[in-house]
Amino acid sequence: MPDSIHDTLSAYYDFWFSCNALYEKWAKRQGITVNTLFVIYTVDAYPERCNQRLICEKLMLPKQTVNTILEALTKKGIVEKKADPSDKRNKRIVFTRTGTEYAGRLLKDLGAFEEKALGAMTREEREDFIRTSQIMLARLEEALNTDS
Protein backbone atom coordinates (compact mmCIF):
# COMPACT_ATOMS: atom_id res chain seq x y z
CA MET A 1 0.00 0.00 0.00
CA PRO A 2 1.45 3.41 -0.93
CA ASP A 3 2.62 5.42 2.07
CA SER A 4 3.25 8.83 0.49
CA ILE A 5 1.39 11.08 -1.91
CA HIS A 6 4.10 10.44 -4.51
CA ASP A 7 3.67 6.66 -4.12
CA THR A 8 -0.12 7.04 -4.34
CA LEU A 9 0.17 9.10 -7.54
CA SER A 10 2.56 6.57 -9.03
CA ALA A 11 0.13 3.73 -8.26
CA TYR A 12 -2.75 5.82 -9.64
CA TYR A 13 -0.92 6.45 -12.92
CA ASP A 14 0.00 2.77 -13.19
CA PHE A 15 -3.69 1.92 -12.77
CA TRP A 16 -4.87 4.59 -15.22
CA PHE A 17 -2.38 3.71 -17.97
CA SER A 18 -2.89 -0.04 -17.53
CA CYS A 19 -6.67 0.33 -17.65
CA ASN A 20 -6.45 2.40 -20.84
CA ALA A 21 -4.08 -0.17 -22.38
CA LEU A 22 -6.53 -2.99 -21.61
CA TYR A 23 -9.39 -1.13 -23.31
CA GLU A 24 -7.11 -0.48 -26.29
CA LYS A 25 -6.26 -4.20 -26.51
CA TRP A 26 -9.94 -5.10 -26.26
CA ALA A 27 -10.88 -2.65 -29.01
CA LYS A 28 -8.05 -3.86 -31.23
CA ARG A 29 -9.41 -7.42 -30.95
CA GLN A 30 -12.68 -6.03 -32.33
CA GLY A 31 -10.82 -4.48 -35.26
CA ILE A 32 -11.26 -0.87 -34.12
CA THR A 33 -9.39 1.74 -32.14
CA VAL A 34 -10.28 2.60 -28.58
CA ASN A 35 -11.34 6.08 -29.74
CA THR A 36 -13.72 4.53 -32.26
CA LEU A 37 -15.08 2.27 -29.52
CA PHE A 38 -15.84 5.22 -27.27
CA VAL A 39 -17.33 7.29 -30.12
CA ILE A 40 -19.73 4.39 -30.77
CA TYR A 41 -20.44 4.19 -27.03
CA THR A 42 -21.21 7.93 -26.94
CA VAL A 43 -23.52 7.82 -29.97
CA ASP A 44 -25.38 4.98 -28.25
CA ALA A 45 -25.50 6.73 -24.87
CA TYR A 46 -26.92 10.01 -26.25
CA PRO A 47 -29.23 9.00 -29.11
CA GLU A 48 -31.44 12.10 -29.00
CA ARG A 49 -28.74 14.72 -28.82
CA CYS A 50 -25.46 13.28 -30.07
CA ASN A 51 -23.45 15.60 -32.27
CA GLN A 52 -19.76 16.08 -32.96
CA ARG A 53 -19.38 18.71 -30.25
CA LEU A 54 -20.89 16.43 -27.59
CA ILE A 55 -18.56 13.59 -28.59
CA CYS A 56 -15.54 15.92 -28.40
CA GLU A 57 -16.60 17.19 -24.97
CA LYS A 58 -17.42 13.79 -23.48
CA LEU A 59 -14.30 12.06 -24.76
CA MET A 60 -11.93 15.03 -24.59
CA LEU A 61 -10.85 14.39 -28.17
CA PRO A 62 -9.91 17.00 -30.78
CA LYS A 63 -12.54 17.92 -33.36
CA GLN A 64 -10.37 16.61 -36.19
CA THR A 65 -9.95 13.20 -34.52
CA VAL A 66 -13.69 12.85 -33.99
CA ASN A 67 -14.39 14.03 -37.53
CA THR A 68 -12.00 11.42 -38.96
CA ILE A 69 -13.66 8.66 -36.90
CA LEU A 70 -17.15 9.80 -37.93
CA GLU A 71 -16.15 9.91 -41.60
CA ALA A 72 -14.82 6.33 -41.37
CA LEU A 73 -17.98 5.14 -39.59
CA THR A 74 -20.11 6.90 -42.21
CA LYS A 75 -18.22 5.20 -45.05
CA LYS A 76 -18.80 1.84 -43.34
CA GLY A 77 -22.52 2.61 -43.09
CA ILE A 78 -22.54 2.62 -39.28
CA VAL A 79 -23.53 6.25 -38.62
CA GLU A 80 -25.11 9.08 -40.55
CA LYS A 81 -25.60 12.77 -39.96
CA LYS A 82 -29.14 14.07 -39.76
CA ALA A 83 -30.47 17.58 -39.34
CA ASP A 84 -31.11 18.43 -35.71
CA PRO A 85 -34.72 19.64 -35.48
CA SER A 86 -33.91 21.83 -32.47
CA ASP A 87 -30.87 23.50 -34.10
CA LYS A 88 -30.61 23.47 -37.89
CA ARG A 89 -26.94 24.49 -37.73
CA ASN A 90 -25.99 21.21 -36.04
CA LYS A 91 -26.09 17.70 -37.36
CA ARG A 92 -27.10 14.85 -35.08
CA ILE A 93 -25.05 11.69 -35.28
CA VAL A 94 -27.27 8.60 -35.42
CA PHE A 95 -26.79 4.94 -36.16
CA THR A 96 -27.98 3.47 -39.42
CA ARG A 97 -29.90 0.20 -39.20
CA THR A 98 -26.62 -1.64 -39.84
CA GLY A 99 -24.92 0.57 -37.25
CA THR A 100 -27.58 -0.15 -34.64
CA GLU A 101 -26.98 -3.89 -35.07
CA TYR A 102 -23.18 -3.49 -35.09
CA ALA A 103 -23.12 -1.19 -32.05
CA GLY A 104 -25.54 -3.43 -30.20
CA ARG A 105 -23.27 -6.46 -30.63
CA LEU A 106 -20.10 -4.49 -29.90
CA LEU A 107 -21.44 -2.83 -26.76
CA LYS A 108 -22.97 -6.08 -25.55
CA ASP A 109 -19.54 -7.71 -25.84
CA LEU A 110 -17.93 -4.73 -24.11
CA GLY A 111 -20.45 -5.02 -21.29
CA ALA A 112 -19.70 -8.73 -20.93
CA PHE A 113 -15.95 -7.94 -20.74
CA GLU A 114 -16.51 -5.31 -18.06
CA GLU A 115 -19.07 -7.38 -16.15
CA LYS A 116 -16.63 -10.29 -16.03
CA ALA A 117 -14.08 -8.03 -14.36
CA LEU A 118 -16.54 -6.34 -12.01
CA GLY A 119 -18.21 -9.67 -11.26
CA ALA A 120 -14.91 -10.91 -9.84
CA MET A 121 -15.09 -8.12 -7.25
CA THR A 122 -17.26 -8.20 -4.17
CA ARG A 123 -20.11 -5.73 -3.86
CA GLU A 124 -18.11 -3.87 -1.22
CA GLU A 125 -15.05 -3.67 -3.50
CA ARG A 126 -17.19 -2.28 -6.33
CA GLU A 127 -18.78 0.29 -4.01
CA ASP A 128 -15.35 1.28 -2.64
CA PHE A 129 -13.98 1.59 -6.18
CA ILE A 130 -16.78 3.95 -7.23
CA ARG A 131 -16.74 5.89 -3.96
CA THR A 132 -12.97 6.50 -4.00
CA SER A 133 -13.00 7.28 -7.73
CA GLN A 134 -15.68 9.93 -7.13
CA ILE A 135 -13.68 11.35 -4.23
CA MET A 136 -10.55 11.56 -6.41
CA LEU A 137 -12.51 13.28 -9.18
CA ALA A 138 -13.96 15.82 -6.74
CA ARG A 139 -10.53 16.53 -5.22
CA LEU A 140 -8.95 16.99 -8.66
CA GLU A 141 -11.73 19.41 -9.59
CA GLU A 142 -11.23 21.33 -6.35
CA ALA A 143 -7.47 21.51 -6.96
CA LEU A 144 -8.01 22.73 -10.51
CA ASN A 145 -10.47 25.38 -9.39
CA THR A 146 -8.17 26.68 -6.65
CA ASP A 147 -5.09 26.76 -8.90
CA SER A 148 -4.11 30.16 -10.18
The mean pLDDT value for 5-23 works out to: 94
* Residue 31, pLDDT above cutoff 80: yes
Among residues 112, 145, 136, 142, which one has the least CA distance to residue 16? Answer: 136
In this prediction, residue 2 carries a pLDDT of 66
pTM (whole model) above 0.85: yes
Q: Are 97 and 77 in contact (CB under 8 A)?
A: no
What domains, with CATH codes, occur in the chain? 5-143 (1.10.10.10)
Nearest CA among 64, 25, 57, 27 for reference residue 42? 57
Backbone φ and ψ of 94, nearest 5°:
-135, 155
The tens digit of pLDDT for each residue in 50-109 reads 999 999 999 999 999 999 999 999 999 999 999 888 777 889 999 999 999 999 999 999
- Alpha-carbon span 87 to 91, nearest angstrom: 8
Q: Residue 84's beta-bridge partner residues?
A: 87
- Which pLDDT score is estimated for 45? 98
